[in-house]
């Protein structure tokens, strides 16, 4: 069903629960753009009139309720023959899960606050003549703001309608005795189930348990539960009385209404030593054999008067005799008690006369959870009796400021002279936030958690802060937090790494601008190149695709173009000397042609490129070498010289 859209509006996102007759989905209300809960009748009950009727009862019952502690109903509908209810979506957990997490260690004040919210919801439902009939912690939600929401009116029924049922409905561990035996149910049935819920809430344990549903139901009808104070010694007596009164096996002995029960719960919250009246306490939990009721018609005479037979007279006399015996026994017991008291007084006087004095005891009330003013008032009589009362203050994130956290001694009888120590909450501790910028994240987290702060972290890349260290935090240094507040650390995941692009063939000026924009330092080296134009990058170091970060360096080798050199004057050089001179100037000797000349044989008399001419390196220079005058030794000014000049080669003016 996930992904299905009901009523062209509610998109089912995920299944969050399965009940006896419905499946609950988290859904998105496309119209109002909010999360909702959709309870969809299970497919196997599609077409089943009885389950459709129950489903409709739930929607009608719940829709008539409007209370902050009851889940809200937004819409009802039908899709492909299956009924659905659209409800408020609760982000949180069930009370059953919460009790399991706490393992029976829920502070009684917190438990009482939860109890008041549930009872307030029941009071509202009952005022609308709606009985829940399945009160259990699985049907109680606690949202993220610790607000209670009562859910699942799946077997609710209008109180004004027929309430006699032959089948026990609801969950066995929380059934009222009348539900277990299929009897008459009313709002007091909810109160019994609520009493069982409170028993579990305060003690962490169920009052009755067994291997089968029937075994548990029988215990509800016949057995007496262990008193909650035996399982939880610090439980105020008033709370225990409320639970036991709510769990009376006879409906007439329970609270008449949730409103009356709520009043007692509120009073116990502010005054845990208050008294809660329980009627007929001694046989409240008595085991009783349930027998059918038989109407007996007594015989009458002609005048209409009842005729009492002889055996009936004997029975009545015997009954009166039994009553007299009971009175005699009670009188004897009272006499024994009076005698015991008198004897006790006599013994006490004798002991006192012999110098033996019984210690004087005083009653220490339970002041945990009270405000300081309430505590002071409760201990007023002890203070007047001379008891030393010391108040100790400590920070506590779970107890509001000015409320009593602990007391020594605990509630009960105490002897004269005992020192009383009362621990009072200072509320949440105030914490001045230091500057953790640049600190090792693990060390900062450890320090902050020791101060009872909730530390959250986020990873960020940083070119300045080393990996694993704090870049910044919110709130920043100087702010004041309280224990339980949150602080977020932004932790460096190291520098922002990227791959180096290739800048070979790019103009140096453009490459430099782009690299510096990425935080890279650029250095330049120049080289002559016969193939790369001047100002263009020949190569780079590191090579392209290298991992880089801000602050790294890149060397760009830039072309100076073709290298130019000056041609040396080779006149009068020997061929070897001319070769060396050209090589030193990065030039090469070319052809060497012998010609007649007035110069001495072996000396250069001409060169192909005039001295001081700028040429590229490795340019070839041709030379002409004198072979002397072969005939007369005179200077030959004939055809050979003219041919050289005609070739456009600069000649020595001495030829």
Q: Where in 59-174 does DSSP place strands (E)?
A: 73-79, 82-88, 92-94, 130-131, 140-143, 148-150, 157-158
d(CA 411, CA 633): 146
Q: Using an 8 Å Cβ cutoff, are 425 and 394 in contact?
A: yes
Helix (H, G, I), strand (E, B) or coil at 546: coil
Can you tell me the distance from the alpha carbon of 206 to that of 96, in angstroms, rounded to the nearest whole number?
11
555 closest CA partner among 597, 626, 504, 593? 504
Chain centroid to Cα 470, Å, comes to 23
* Distant-in-sequence, close-in-space partners of 277: CB < 8 Å, separation ≥ 6: none
CA–CA distance, 79 with 27 (Å, rounded to integer): 15
Residue 568 tokens, joined: 């040396």
Q: Of 493, 537, 535, 495, whose CA–CA distance to 515 is shortest?
A: 537
Kindly list the distances between the CA atom of residue 80 and the CA atoms of 1, 41, 50, in Å, as whole numbers in the listed order: 12, 11, 18
Compute the distance between CA of residue 152 and CA of residue 349 in angstroms, rounded to an integer.
Answer: 66
134: annotated active-site residue? yes
Q: Name the DSSP class of 560.
A: -
Q: Are 468 and 492 in contact (CB under 8 A)?
A: yes
Phi, psi of 541 (to 5 degrees): -140, 120
Q: Beta 588-595 vs 620-626: how paired, if at all? A: parallel
- CA-CA distance, 604 to 597, in Å (whole number)? 10
Cβ-contact 100, 72 below 8 angstroms: no
Which listed residue (75, 134, 186, 572) is catalytic? 134
Concatenate the DSSP letters of all residues of 547-597 into one string.
EE-TT-EEEEEEE--S-EEEPPP-TT-BHHHHHHHHHHTT-EEEEEEEE--
Catalytic site positions: 134
């Amino acid at each position: 069903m996930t992904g299905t859209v009901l009523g062209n509006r509610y998109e089912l996102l995920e299944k969050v629960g399965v009940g006896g007759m419905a499946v609950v989905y988290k859904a998105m209300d496309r119209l109002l753009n909010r999360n909702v809960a959709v309870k969809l009748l299970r497919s196997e009950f599609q077409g089943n009139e009885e389950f459709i009727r129950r489903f409709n009862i739930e929607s009608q019952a719940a829709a008539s309720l409007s209370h902050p502690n009851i889940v809200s109903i937004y819409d009802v509908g039908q899709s492909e023959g299956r009924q659905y209810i659209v409800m408020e979506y609760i982000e949180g957990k069930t009370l059953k899960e919460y009790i399991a997490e706490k393992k029976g260690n829920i502070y009684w004040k917190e438990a009482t606050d939860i109890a008041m919210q549930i009872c307030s919801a029941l009071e509202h439902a009952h005022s609308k003549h709606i009985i829940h009939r399945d009160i259990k912690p699985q049907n109680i939600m606690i949202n993220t703001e610790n607000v209670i929401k009562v859910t699942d009116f799946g077997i609710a029924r209008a109180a004004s309608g027929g309430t006699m049922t032959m089948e026990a409905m609801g969950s066995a561990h929380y059934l009222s005795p009348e539900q277990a035996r299929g009897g008459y149910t009313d709002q007091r049935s909810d109160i019994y189930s609520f009493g069982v819920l409170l028993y579990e809430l305060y003690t962490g344990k169920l009052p009755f348990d067994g291997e089968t549903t029937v075994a548990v139901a029988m215990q509800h009808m016949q057995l007496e539960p262990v008193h909650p104070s035996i399982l939880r010694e610090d439980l105020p007596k008033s709370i225990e009385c409320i639970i036991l009164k709510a769990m009376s096996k006879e409906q007439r002995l329970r609270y008449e209404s949730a409103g009356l029960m709520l009043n007692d719960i509120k009073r116990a919250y502010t005054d845990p030593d208050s008294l809660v009246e329980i009627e007929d306490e001694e046989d409240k939990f008595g085991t009783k054999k349930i027998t059918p009721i038989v109407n007996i018609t007594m015989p009458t005479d002609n005048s209409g008067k009842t005729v009492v037979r002889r055996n009936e007279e004997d029975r009545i006399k015997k009954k009166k005799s039994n009553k007299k015996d009971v009175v005699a026994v009670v009188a004897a017991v009272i006499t024994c008690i009076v005698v015991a008291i008198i004897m006790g007084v006599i013994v006490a006087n004798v002991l006192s006369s012999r110098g033996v004095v019984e210690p004087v005891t005083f009653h220490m009330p339970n002041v945990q959870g009270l405000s300081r003013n309430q505590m002071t008032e409760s201990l007023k009589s002890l203070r007047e009796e001379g008891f030393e009362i010391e108040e100790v203050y400590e920070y506590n994130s779970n107890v509001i400021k000015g409320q009593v956290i602990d007391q020594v001694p605990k509630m009960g009888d105490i002897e004269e002279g005992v020192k009383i120590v009362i621990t009072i909450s200072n509320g949440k501790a105030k914490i001045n936030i230091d500057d953790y910028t640049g600190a090792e994240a693990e060390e900062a987290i450890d320090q902050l958690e020791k101060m009872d702060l909730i530390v959250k972290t986020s990873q960020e890349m940083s070119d300045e802060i080393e990996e694993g260290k704090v870049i910044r935090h919110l709130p920043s240094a100087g702010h004041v937090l309280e224990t339980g507040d949150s602080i977020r650390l932004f932790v460096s995941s190291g520098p922002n790494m990227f791959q180096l692009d290739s800048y070979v063939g790019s103009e140096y000026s453009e490459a430099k601008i782009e690299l510096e924009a990425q935080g890279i330092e650029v250095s330049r080296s120049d080289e002559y190149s016969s193939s790369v134009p001047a100002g263009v990058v020949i190569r780079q170091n590191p090579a392209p695709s290298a991992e880089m970060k801000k602050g790294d360096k890149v060397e760009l080798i830039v072309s100076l173009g073709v290298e130019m050199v000056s041609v040396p004057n080779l006149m009068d050089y020997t061929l070897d000397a001319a070769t060396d001179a050209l090589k030193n100037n990065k030039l090469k000797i070319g052809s060497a042609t012998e010609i007649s000349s007035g110069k001495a044989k072996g000396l250069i008399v001409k060169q192909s490129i005039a001295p001081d001419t700028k040429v590229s390196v490795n340019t070839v220079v041709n030379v002409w070498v004198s072979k002397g005058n072969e005939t007369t030794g005179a200077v030959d000014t004939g055809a050979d010289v003219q041919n050289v000049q005609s070739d456009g080669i600069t000649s020595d003016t001495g030829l």
